[in-house]
Homo-oligomer: A and B are copies of this chain.
Amino acid sequence: MSTHDDTGHDQDFIPLSVDIAIFRLNDFGGLQVLLTQLADRPKDPHFPYPNAWSLVGGRIRKALDPDDEAAAHRTLMRRTGAQVPYLEPVRSVGSATRDPRGWTSTTLYFALVGPSFGWTLKPGDDIKAIEWVSINDARLRAMAFDHTRLFQLALERLRNKMSYSLLPAYLLEADFTLPELQKVYEQILEVEIPKKTFRDKILELDGIEETGKTKMTRGAPAKLYRLKPTKVPLLFNKNLI
């Protein structure tokens, strides 16, 4: 048996969607996620969550999406008008109960964008508002469908993976300093990391390189680094924290 079974009953076709937890840092270094507010839909009295907030998401369209990652990119493009630099699948959730109208399945992604991500937030017929929201915002605790749990899964994956990878670099400009990078780790993981240890481990990883430029701050100027052009963000063999 496999994916494919011609004995499959017609009634077993299931609506498939993607939902994306897209993260950025606000001007003070706080982590935010992009939420959309579902419209009223007066013409659709069975729509279960009018006015509720949800992650960015949308149905997979066979004709438009060669694969599920393409569906995620298309959905983000539709709402933000820009291409995200980092996108990875977290997991899929399918059940009879996550949508009161019946069996559905969604694939959850998480995305990271830097401060100069060139988005233009685009509501639409089905979306009343779209907004960057702090990860402590109360709206995240009462979202449509199972999106509260999806958001938690995405945040957990982000925290987990950043403790052994250079992922947080995608939340900064392409050129960044080590003190900036350290602050991102400390802010999101809510820990303090000894400066020496942090620098030694990051540099030993050999996943970033000097740009030759420096960035002025209030004190001494800091060297600017960039990610080396590898496909995958480099992984620590031991945890950073």
Chain A interface secondary structure, helix, strand, loop or mixed? loop
| A115 sits at the interface (CB 8 A) | no
Cβ B44 vs Cβ A67 within 8 A:
no
Known contacts A15-B13, A105-B16; A1/B58 CB under 8 A:
yes
Q: What would 12 A/B residue contacts be, using CB atoms closer than 8 Å?
A: A1-B56, A1-B79, A3-B19, A5-B126, A9-B61, A13-B14, A14-B16, A16-B105, A60-B105, A91-B92, A105-B105, A238-B239
Known contacts A13-B15, A239-B238; A1/B36 CB under 8 A:
yes
Name which residue of chain B comes closest to A44, CB basis.
B6
Known contacts A6-B44, A68-B94, A94-B16; A11/B75 CB under 8 A:
no
| A195 sits at the interface (CB 8 A) | no
Known contacts A62-B96, A66-B97; A106/B3 CB under 8 A:
yes
A58 to B7, CA, bound (A): 10
| A217 sits at the interface (CB 8 A) | no
